[in-house]
Amino acid sequence: MKRLFIGAVSAALILTAFAGCSKVDKDKYVGESNSESSVADNADGQDNQQNAADNDWSALEIGIDAKVLTPKFNYSELTDMGWSFDPAIYGLSDCTLTKDQYLSCDVYLDKEGCDSGVLAIGFTNINNESAPLSDCQIWSVKVDIRDKTNYPTIAIPGGISWNASQDDIKSMLGDPTEVKQDEAGCTELVYTKDTSNIHFCVYDEGGMQKFFVEKF
């Protein structure tokens, strides 16, 4: 559940530990664009890069039940839609964040009629003063529909569709900045541009069934 962010020069400094969550100092965690990465010398590679140039996903706009959200949006936009969580589960009952602090863990939200584990978020504070989580903003969003039956209608950044293959994603967004493998059988395609990251988890069976975005 926990994700601690450590930049190339150990930029993320842990300030305070909670039960399952940590506050981290942002310190400008900025990735590099893949615009200058090497591309295979073939027509497919060239087409992928042209499509990437035409498809700017970096705003990270996510549609949830027809409502468009762009990190760093207010947490209240989700509660207005019926999403919530129990802060006590994460040791966050009295949590406040100072300006530009981030929580490093995934906080899973619940909503009546939706399966558990579909939607997870990360909190930050872009206000000028310290604020409780209820008044903070959302810097990361994860949506996972694998083995789920009931979940909201989701519009994915870049126009990617559920169950897309690796080739489908590359044809839309170009070659990824990084490719990872995990023990659950997911091939993770990571795209980075300026302060925006998007990760697509593509499975051998079912294609892309999980993605998450990060806006630093």
188 and 182 Cβ atoms separated by less than 8 Å: yes
Strand partners, 144: 210
In order along its 216 residues, the chain shows pLDDT tens digits of 334 332 322 233 223 333 357 665 444 333 333 333 333 344 454 555 545 545 689 999 999 998 999 999 999 999 999 999 999 999 999 999 999 999 988 999 999 999 999 999 999 999 999 999 999 999 999 999 999 999 999 999 999 999 999 999 999 999 999 999 988 889 999 999 999 999 999 999 999 999 999 999
How far from 44 is each of 28, 47, 192, 193, CA to CA, in Å?
A: 35, 5, 21, 22
Specify the DSSP class assigned to residue 163. T
CB 47 within 8 A of CB 171: yes
Q: How many helices (H) and strands (E) does the chain have?
A: 3, 16
Residues 6+ apart with CB under 8 A from 41: none
Q: Is the pTM of this model over 0.85?
A: no
Going by CATH, does the domain composed of 33-64+160-216 fall within 3.40.1350? no
- Domain segments of the chain: what residues? 1-30+67-152, 33-64+160-216
